[in-house]
Amino acid sequence: MKLEVLTKNENKKVENFIIKGIRDLINYKNLEPGDKLPSERMLSEKFEVSRNNVREAIQKLEFYGLLKSRPQSGTFVANIGVTAMNGMIEDIIRLDEPDFKSLVETRILLELKTVKLAALRRTEEDLQKMEEALLAYKQKVLNGEDAVQEDLLFHLAIAKASGNSTMNTFMLIITPEIITKFEKYHVCDSDLSQKGIVDHQAIFDAIKNEDPQLAKQKMKDHFKELYVYCYNIE
């Protein structure tokens, strides 16, 4: 029994290998929704991998809603057809790390919507949180410090105020990668930050005044330079 620490890439390969195995199993044995999968121990023996690896693969498929495991009972095929199962597994396997371009593109799409929704739905508490974030951002910029994180925090406050939990989650997922890339490429210069204050204030005012169209327009303006800049990076 060899024992070595795998890199994350190797680990991913093993996981995909197991996922493919489970897919083939479902196809070959004609498992239908609700049917029980072989036990984790049997799968680990069949695929000649550790039970831990099997568990991780199953948990991933469970996250995407393809499997459902019940404690002390077994793992079952979710209520989803064979064709859908195959199509989605193929996508899951081929999922790569998102490129920066698609990240920014998605962020802009999400934010132009969340800012509109925030203008329609924001509560007084939301406003307060956003104002706090705005002030923190201003202070950092006026002190000449790097304010990428405070910038993003203001945007996250907007996402929360949108009242759409799904979009809020998605913003949370893409934000850390945006931050690291931005700091890596030094996207936000000081003069850009100065303009950022005005932009943010305008966005905040529009949300406060419950003007969704204006809020969206201000957000668009805010992204305008960013958009061009990002598309020149890669």
Partner DNA sequence: ACTGCTAAACTGGTTAACCAGTTTTTAATT
Partner DNA sequence: AATTAAAAACTGGTTAACCAGTTTAGCAGT
Binding site for a copy of itself (CB under 8 A): 5, 64-66, 71-72, 78-81, 83-84, 87-88, 91-92, 95-96, 98-99, 102-103, 105-106, 109-110, 113, 133, 136, 149-150, 152-153, 156-157, 160, 163-170, 172-177, 179-180, 183
Residue 194: CB partners within 8 Å, gap ≥ 6?
Answer: 141
- State which of residues 74, 88, 140, 217 lies at the interface with DNA (CB under 7 A): 74
Is 35 an interacting residue with respect to DNA (CB under 7 A)? Answer: no
H helices then E strands: how many in the chain? 10, 2
Instruction: Write the Ramachandran bin of 185: left for phi over 0, alpha for psi from -120 to 50, otherwise beta.
Output: alpha
Tokens of 128: 């307060």
Tell me how far apart the alpha carbons of residues 59 and 69 are, in angstroms, rounded to a whole number: 9
Tokens of 51: 């039970």
Report the partner that residue 228 touches, choosing among a copy of itself, DNA, none (CB closer than 5 to 8 A by kind).
none
* Site track for DNA across 51-70, x = CB under 7 A: xxx-x-------------xx
Complex with a copy of itself: residue 68 or 195, whichever CB lies closer: 68
- Our CA dihedral for 4, 8, 10, 11, rounded to 10 degrees, sits at 80
Can you spell out the DSSP letters for 57-98? HHHHHHHTTSEEEETTTEEEE-S--HHHHHHHHHHHHH--PP
Asked whether the beta carbons of 68 and 78 are under 8 A apart, the reply is yes
Asked whether the beta carbons of 71 and 80 are under 8 A apart, the reply is no
Tell me how far apart the alpha carbons of residues 169 and 160 are, in angstroms, rounded to a whole number: 9
* Site track for DNA across 113-152, x = CB under 7 A: ----------------------------------------
- Distance of closest approach, residue 36 Cβ to DNA, in angstroms: 8
- Distance of closest approach, residue 19 Cβ to DNA, in angstroms: 15
Is 22 an interacting residue with respect to DNA (CB under 7 A)? Answer: no
Is 163 an interacting residue with respect to DNA (CB under 7 A)? Answer: no
Is 232 an interacting residue with respect to DNA (CB under 7 A)? Answer: no
- Distance of closest approach, residue 95 Cβ to a copy of itself, in angstroms: 6
Tell me how far apart the alpha carbons of residues 139 and 142 are, in angstroms, rounded to a whole number: 5
Only one of the segments 46-54, 153-161, 162-170, 197-205 lies at the binding site for DNA (rule: CB under 7 A); that segment is: 46-54
Q: How many residues form the binding site for DNA (CB under 7 A)?
A: 24
Complex with a copy of itself: residue 27 or 169, whichever CB lies closer: 169
Binding site for DNA (CB under 7 A): 1, 3-6, 11, 37-42, 50-53, 55, 69-75
